[in-house]
Structure 1
Amino acid sequence: MMRNWWIKFGCFLTGWNYNILQSCTEASYKQLKKYTSAILILIILWAFVGYSFADRYIQTGTWGSIGIAIIFVLIIIQIERQIILNVGHNKFASIFRMVIAVIMAVLGSAILDQIIFKDDIEKKMIEIVDRQVKKQLPDRLSVINTKLSELQVEIDSLDHRNIELYKQISQTPTINTVSTSVTTVPIKNEDGSITNKTQRTVSNNPIANPKIKEADLNNNNLKQLRDQYEEYSQRKLKAEESLRAELKTKKGFLEELNAMLEILKESTVALIFYVILLAFLISLELFVLLSKSDKNKSDYDLIMEHQLDQKRKTLDGLK
């Protein structure tokens, strides 16, 4: 029962026909088990690579990372089936699969190395961040200094204007305004009639100098400008600290890949380990291809080729 379950699972992974396999010898069963084992190794490897990549760089969360790992697994299964389900020997397909194997091994080793050398990469990232801070800090300070200069010009301009206003206000704290009022006064004539006579009255009323309001408005604007100046001054003091924190929080795949390349250039041991890991992954990727290229074909492959030949002869006869 367990053997049948494993064989059916192997047929599911490889795409083999279980009904045809039942009429084959033990050699075909062994061939199927070899294919199944090779694919399972790749599934485990690329599921781990896909999950780690998604969790570390895409930050999709646990379920999102599991979903991406499943996508990686499905891609691997479909790629391996391209070789396993070939009837006969296709040289072009074999070469193409070798190219894919090298590419996948390079990608896999790059991701695995960034996980294995995590602590070393973080140390190297500190050096890289220091270099980035030295490079980007002058530009950031230049922007802040420009803004501070603009604010200082506005503050000085308003201060100068207020000095002039207060001089004028001290000299003329109040301003006399002239108001005219017209009234009608009834006057009794000698004959007893009444005549209305218009009487104009002119009065002087002192009021506060209107420039006091202008000075108060300028003081409010000065307060806002000085607050902005203080804010940008604080930004200038904390520019390096904030830039460093910003660079550290942004964890990019390419940045860590560059850090990994620097480690490989500086450390011979790391380079040797990377080459060994790359060779190991290429070997794993070529497992199925090498098994398929074996000259001693299983009877399952021979049955498939025989069926194809018979079908061709039948179709040629119909022509």
Structure 2
Amino acid sequence: MKNVWIRFGCFMTGQNYNILRGCSEAASKALKKYTAAMLIVCILWFFIGFTFAQRYLLANIVGCLLAAVIAVVIIIQIERQIILSINPGKPLLIFRGCLAFMMSILGAVIIDQILLAKDIETEKITYISNRVNEILPMKTEELRSQLFALDTSIAAKEREKQEYINEVTRNPVIKYSTSSSQMSSTPVTYKDVLGRDSIVMVSRPIVSISNNAIANPKTALIASADSTIADMRKLKTAKENTLLHIRPSLEKEMEEKVGFLDELKVMVQLISKSTVALAFWLLWILFFFFIEMLVLVSKMGEEHSDYEKAVLHHKKLQIWRLDAMAKGLDAGNAGNPG
């Protein structure tokens, strides 16, 4: 079981197990200390990543787990920058401290939005009401402009319909005439040069005129105008209902679209009004900050372990070997100039 924990610690911190198992118990204890500190930070950020994806990204269980794992991997890689540094310089320490401060604020904000959810929901009512008061005049004016345009269109269509009715009343039917012609042959008798009677068929056109009447075609336009007016009146009624219930509708729409930044603004309002909420939020920031600094403080507060000395020894030995090989190659090249 001990070897399993040591192997797990090597996996978390990035240390070499083959080197560590040949070191003293002090090196193993230092590894366990780093592993415990990293586990605390990883558990917290696993929870933060999971709840953030669930609450604000609306991800399913697989997406939430993926977000949590990504958060843990990022934390492990950050902590390794300190653990694997044998002599961390001031820039790295300052950078890690600033990063710990920023991460503590982010973690405290996300955790507080979950822990203070009920208080945020109460404060959100005031926030949404203020947002609705800002948007309501513009939305109301827009709907009234649309209603005015619909009234104008309905009045124009009704005048057009009345013109059709007057026209149909004056001329319910339209009369028109059609003419047709056909050739008619009649016999004609005349005497030829010898004095005999001769009969010749002579064709003459006969024109016939017929009077017809049809219903005024504008009668169909009256029905079309009625249908258009009815559609516009339905649309006007819908607009009037929207105008009547516009405030509850806007409040519901904004409640459904409140995101992370909106809840952050609500939380700022809550903290600015309540000293207790401010103290609670600052407490969480300090809690996260000190946890983020665990590995860094542990690294700064101890001397080099035999594991680190073994790593340095391997480094110096490898450099000596490389230098010896380089000198041997240079000597060989000097002895064989051709």
With the shorter chain as reference, the TM-score category is over 0.9
Listed as ranges, the gaps of 5+ residues in structure 2 are 190-197, 328-338
Q: Secondary structure at the match of 2:56?
A: helix
Matches within 5 A, 1:1-319: 2-190=1-189, 191-311=198-318
Letter in structure 1 aligned against 2:117: K
C-alpha distance in structure 1 between counterparts of 2:18 and 2:148, whole Å: 84
Q: Give the C-alpha shift of residue 316 in structure 1.
A: 6.6
Report the residue type matching 1:246 in the other structure.
E
TM-score by length of 1: 0.94
Bigger shift: residues 129-138 or 56-65: 129-138
Residue-by-residue CA offset, 1:41-91 (whole Å, 9 max, x unaligned): 011000000000000000111111001100001101110000000022322
- Map Cα deviations across residues 6-34 of structure 1 (whole Å, 9 max, x no partner): 11111110111111112211111111110
Further displaced range: 306-315 or 174-183 = 306-315
Moved more, 146-155 or 251-260: 146-155
2:336 maps to what in 1? none
- Opposite residue 299 of structure 2, the aligned amino acid is K
**Separation in structure 1 between the aligned mates of residue 287 and residue 35 of structure 2, nearest angstrom:** 19
Runs (5+) with no aligned partner, structure 1: none
Task: Find the aligned partners of 1:47 and 1:56 in 2 and give their Cα distance.
Answer: 14
Distance in 1 separating the partners of 2:271 and 2:73? 32
Greater Cα shift, 5-14 or 296-305: 296-305
Q: Is the 8 A contact 1:87 1:304 kept in 2?
A: no
- Per-residue displacement from partner, 1:97-137 (whole Å, max 9, x unpaired)? 11110111111001000000011111111111111111112
Counterpart amino acid of 1:297?
Answer: H
RMSD: 1.8
Give the whole-Å Cα distance in 1 for the aligned partners of 2:322 and 2:171: 116
| Structure with larger Rg | 2
Deviation at 1:162, TM superposition (A): 1.8
State the identity as a percent: 36
Residue 331 of structure 2 aligns with which residue? none
Question: For 1:86, what is the secondary structure of its paired residue?
Answer: coil
CA distance in 2, matches of 1:170, 1:254: 66
Q: CA deviation at 1:314?
A: 6.0
When the two structures are superposed, what TM-score results if normalisation uses the length of structure 2?
Answer: 0.89
Partner SS, residue 38 of structure 1: helix
Aligned to 2:332: none
Q: Retained in 2: the 8 A contact 1:175–1:209?
A: yes
Give the CA deviation at 1:274.
0.8
Amino acid at match of 2:72: V
- 2:195 — aligned with what? none
- Residue 5 of structure 1 deviates from its aligned partner by 0.6
Distance 2:146 2:12 in 1: 64
Distance 2:245 2:105 in 1: 41
Mean Cα deviation higher: 28-37 or 147-156: 147-156
Aligned length, in residue pairs: 318
Q: Within 2, Cα distance between the matches of 1:290 and 1:9?
A: 22
Q: Secondary structure at the match of 1:229?
A: helix
